[in-house]
Amino acid sequence: MKKFINDPFDAVDEMLEGYLLVNGKYLRRLEKARTVVSTAAPRQGKVGIVTGGGSGHKPAFLGFIGKGMLDAVAIGDIFTSPPPTAVYEGAKAVNGGKGVLFLLGNYSGDVMNFDMAAEMARAEGIEVEQVIATDDVGSAPPTEIEKRRGVVGEFLTWKMAGAKAETGASLAEVAEIARRVNDNTRSLGVALTGCTIPASGKPTFVLPEDEIEFGVGHHGEPGNKRMKMLPADEVSEIMVKQILEDLPFKSGDEVAVIINGLGGTPDLELYIMYRKVHQLLQDAGIKIYRSYVGEFFTALDMQGASITLTRLDEEMKQLLDAPADTPAFKQL
C-alpha cells in the first residue's frame, strides 16, 4: 500500500483538520464530538438536516454542508458508523426550532446509532424525523427494497430536502420530499478493483485483470455478478437496463442522472459512460432534466463507477434547480 498518510489511525482526524482549514467559510467543528456543522447554523425557522457515516466517501458527506443542502455531518472512522453522541450533538447544534431531519444510508450501524441519537434529541424536546436511503438495486431484489443500501442517490435526497428546508417548510414536509426522492431513485455500481482501507493495507476484494464486478457497495462490499471486462458502452447498457426495469422507469419520464466515480476513475471514463447512458435514455423515450458527472460519493481509491436515475415530478424539478452553496457543490 502506497498512500500519502502518516499513522493510518490518525488519517480521519488529520484529513478533517486540513478540510476545515480550507473550508472554514462553510464549516466548523463542534467541541464535544467529531461533528461538523454549517457556520450559519442554527437558523431559526428552518428545519435542520443532519447526516453522517463513515469516512472514505469524499466529497460525501462533508462536501455538501452549506446553503441549500446539509446543516451537520457526524463523522465516523473509515467505513465505520459515527457514534450516537456525534449525531445527537449535531442535532442540537442545528435545531432552529422547527425540528431536525436525519438522512442516512441503510447500514445496520448507522440505523442503530441514528435511532439512539433521535431518542436522545427527543428527550430534550427536539422533534426528529428520519429517512433511510435504499437506492442500491445491486444489494437486494425489488421484493426486498427495505434491505437495500443507500448509495450515491443520497446526494439527490440531500439536494432536494435541503432546498425544501430553505423554503421554511415544516419537518413533515421536508421528510416527505426526502422519502419521495428515495422512492423514485435507483443506483447501481460497477468496479474494476476493490479499495484499500489504510488501517488494513489490503484491498477489500481482488478482481483478476480481465474481470469486472457489478453491484459493489461504497464500503468496498463485493458485488453480486462478475463478468469478463467489456467496453464502456456494454457496461453502461447492462447497468441502465437493470436500473430502468427496477422502478420501473417508462417512456415520458423526466429524470436526473448521476454518473459517479468511486474514487479512482478519471472523468474521461465517466463522460464516455455518460454519452452511452444519454443515448440509451433517449432511445427509451426518457427525458434527462439534469445531469451530474464526477465524484459525489466515493469508496476511497476504488476504480469503478455508479449510475443513478431519479424520476422527477414538477416540485422535485424546482427543488433540484434551487441554489446551493457548499464546498463540493455550487449551483446558482
Q: Which of 43, 46, 57, 180 is catalytic?
A: 57
196 plus 77 within the same structural domain: no
Predicted confidence band of residue 27 (pLDDT cuts 50, 70, 90): very high
In a domain, 145, yes or no: yes
pLDDT of residue 220: 84
Q: Are 57 and 158 in contact (CB under 8 A)?
A: no
In a domain, 331, yes or no: no
90 plus 226 within the same structural domain: no
What pTM did the predictor assign?
Answer: 0.97
Q: Is the pLDDT of residue 227 over 90?
A: yes
pLDDT digits (tens, 9 = 90+) for 79-107: 999 999 999 999 999 999 999 999 999 99
Q: Is 57 a catalytic residue?
A: yes
Predicted confidence band of residue 272 (pLDDT cuts 50, 70, 90): very high
Q: Is the pLDDT of residue 65 over 90?
A: yes
Closest by Cα among 106, 179, 110, 186 to 142: 186
Helix (H, G, I), strand (E, B) or coil at 331: strand
Length of the chain equals 332
pLDDT of residue 223: 87
141 plus 37 within the same structural domain: yes
State the Cα–Cα distance between residues 271 and 44, nearest whole angstrom: 41
Q: Which of 219, 253, 270, 274 is catalytic?
A: 219
pLDDT digits (tens, 9 = 90+) for 243-265: 999 999 999 999 999 999 999 99
63 plus 37 within the same structural domain: yes
pLDDT digits (tens, 9 = 90+) for 102-113: 999 999 999 999
Q: What percent of the chain has pLDDT over 90?
A: 96
75 plus 159 within the same structural domain: yes
Q: What's the whole-number average pLDDT of the chain?
A: 97
pLDDT of residue 303: 97
In a domain, 4, yes or no: no
Q: Is 218 a catalytic residue?
A: no
204 plus 171 within the same structural domain: no
55 plus 180 within the same structural domain: yes
In a domain, 172, yes or no: yes
150 plus 216 within the same structural domain: no
Q: What is the domain extent for residue 88?
A: 11-184
138 plus 243 within the same structural domain: no
Angle between helices 154-166 and 171-183 (to 10 degrees): 150
The total domain count for the chain is 2
Q: Are 277 and 259 in contact (CB under 8 A)?
A: yes
Question: Looking at per-residue confidence, does 220 or 92 come out higher?
Answer: 92
Domain holding 165: CATH number? 3.40.50.10440
